Amino acid sequence: SQQGEEDPQALSIQEGENATMNCSYKTSINNLQWYRQNSGRGLVHLILIRSNEREKHSGRLRVTLDTSKKSSSLLITASRAADTASYFCATDANDYKLSFGAGTTVTVRA
């Protein structure tokens, strides 16, 4: 069953702008991950944030986690054409299974 839900479903921005997407989930988690998927390809892991962390950075990516609101956000700064992709949040379930949301499709216009 899908626990995470991303918002918005789609996002179109100009190159150089920032992109922000959100993920909400229903039950308690140990950690939350963000993955990227280029069209027709497999997913690539971007970042993992643990339930006791509030913010994490990796290059141009900034992830926040608010466990009281059961939500996370992914910020991509200074976007590039290569950032055009779908982004998924994944929450942990039992037995190291992951539950994925439906994703946010980001289009970066040149």
Partner 1 sequence: DGGITQSPKYLFRKEGQNVTLSCEQNLNHDAMYWYRQDPGQGLRLIYYSQIVNDFQKGDIAEGYSVSREKKESFPLTVTSAQKNPTAFYLCASSNQGAWEQFFGPGTRLTVL
Nearest to 72 by CA among 23, 5, 8: 23
The conformational region for residue 60 under phi > 0 = left, psi -120 to 50 = alpha, else beta, is: alpha
Please report whether residue 52 would count as binding partner 1 according to CB under 8 A.
no
Tell whether residue 88 is a contact of partner 1 (CB under 8 A). yes
Q: How far is CA 99 from the centre of its chain?
A: 13
Looking at 7, 13, 22, 48, which residue binds partner 1 (CB under 8 A)?
A: 48
Beta bridge partners of 99: 91
Q: How far is the CB of 78 from partner 1 (least distance, A)?
A: 25
User: Contact residues for partner 1 (CB under 8 A)?
Assistant: 1-2, 4, 9, 30-31, 33, 35, 40-45, 48, 88, 92, 95-98, 100-103
